[in-house]
Structure 1
Amino acid sequence: MLDIKILGSSSKGNCYVLSDGGSSIMLEAGLSPRQLAKQGVKLSAIDALLVTHEHGDHTKYASDILLSIRGDIWSSDETLKVLGINRRKHVLKALREQRIGKWVVLPFETIHDDQKVRAREALGFFILAPGGERIVFATDTNWIRGNFPKVTHWMIECNHDVALVRQSSYPKFLQDRILKTHMSIDSCKAFFERMDLSYTKQIYLLHLSDSNSEPNRFKREIEELTQKSVRIAGDG
C-alpha cells in the first residue's frame, strides 16, 4: 500500500516521501537531514531523490541528503548543473519514461518562470509505484499541461487566490511574480475539471501560501468539485 508523507510544503522547505513496502523515494530536498530525522524519516532507506527545480526551498539540502541516502539524485540536466552536483546523479528528460529501482517516472514540463526568478528546466513527475498506484506530483507551476490516465493520488500545487494576492500589501512586481509562477485555486479547479478522476483515491493540495490562501475553503471547493477526499499539506 502506498504511503505518502508530507514533511514540508512551503517556502520554508519542501520535502515528501513516497513508500511502498520496502521501497521509498524522496521528492524535493528543502529540509535538512536533522529536520527529517525529527519527523521520523530514515534516510538510509531512501532509494532515490527526485528534484523538480533548483530553487532553494526545494534543493537547499540536496547534497547533504545525498550523503545519507542509499540511492542517487534524479533531476533535469539544467537543475543538476545549477546545483553543481557531479556524482551519483542521473538526468531526467520531459516525456521520457525512466525506471528508478521499483518505480517508474515520467517527467513532464512545468511552468515556473519569470525574468527574475527563473527555473531553468522545471519538471513535474507522473509516478508509477511498485504496487500499481499512479501519482501525479506538480508544484511551483502556474499550470499543468497534458493528461494523466488512471491516477490514484494527486499531489498538486494550490498556492493562492488571485483576489487575495491583488488585495495584499505585496508590491505589484511581487504580486505579478506569484501569479506567473504559482497555481491559483481557480487554475487548480480548472485542471481537475478536465482530468479523469475515476481511479482517484486521494488529492493532496500543496504549497499553500501563508497569507494568500484560505485552506478550509480551498479544501471544500476541491472536494465539492471532484467528489474526492482532499487533504491540505500539513493538515495531518
Structure 2
Amino acid sequence: FSEFENPFAWIQNSLFTMSSSLYLALVVERTFAVRNAARYEQTRFHLLPLAIVICLSMAVALFIVYANFWLVEMLTTIIIVYTIEGCTLISSVSLIIYARRKYGHIPYDSDRLKAKYQVKEVLDFSMAILPSLIIGAVMHTLSLVPTLLWMYGIISMAVDGTLFYSVHSLNCILSKLTLIGCHKEMRQRLKQMFFKGSSEGIHIVRDAEGEGRQYFEQIKAAWDKHEKHNPREKYIS
C-alpha cells in the first residue's frame, strides 16, 4: 500500500467520506424541518450546529483514512461508507413520502401557511437531491470494480488507481450537475453565473420573493373560498 500512502489519496478519501456524511446530515436536518415545520420556519441560521456537523463529518473522514491506509482495513471502511450512503438513500425516500403526507395534512389555515410552505420547500429539495444520491451510489459501486480486480491480481495497482480516481472524479461531476439540473433555484443561479450579466441577479431575487408572495396569496384565497362555502368544517393537521 506504499503507492497509495500519499497526500492526494488521503485528501481524496477524506473529502469523499465528508461529502457522504454531510449528505446524511442534510437529510436528517430536512426531516427535522418537516417534523417541526411551523417552529423551524421561524428559526434563523445558527453557526454552532453547522460547525458541529462539519466537525463530526471530518472526524468520520479522518477515521476512514486512518483505517484505510494505516490499519489496512479496506473492507471495514467500505462497509462504513456504504452504510452511510445506504442510510442517506433510504432516509431520502422516506423523507419524500413523509413530506408529501405532511403537506397534504397541514390545513390551509392562515396560521399554518408558513409551515406548509416550509414543507413544500423540503419536498422540492428532496425530489431534486434523490437522483444525485442514486447516481452517487451507482458510481461508488462501479469504483469498487477496479479495486476488486487489483485485489485478485488481475490488474496492477497503477491501473487500479487510475480507474478508481477517474470514476470518483466523474461521480463528483455527474452527481453535482444532476443536483443542479433537478433543482430549479440552483439551475437559475447557474444560468445567472455563466449566461447572463451580473445585473440580472437582482431580478432573480425579486422574482423569488414575488413567487413566495403569490404562493401565500393563492393559499389564502383557497382558504377563504373554502370558509365561505363550508363555514362549519374544520381541518385537523
| TM-score (structure 2 length as normaliser) | 0.25
Indicate the structure (1 or 2) with the bigger Cα radius of gyration. 2
Where relative contact order (Cα < 8 A, 6+ residues apart) is larger, the structure is: 2
TM-score, scaled to structure 1: 0.25
More helix by share: 2
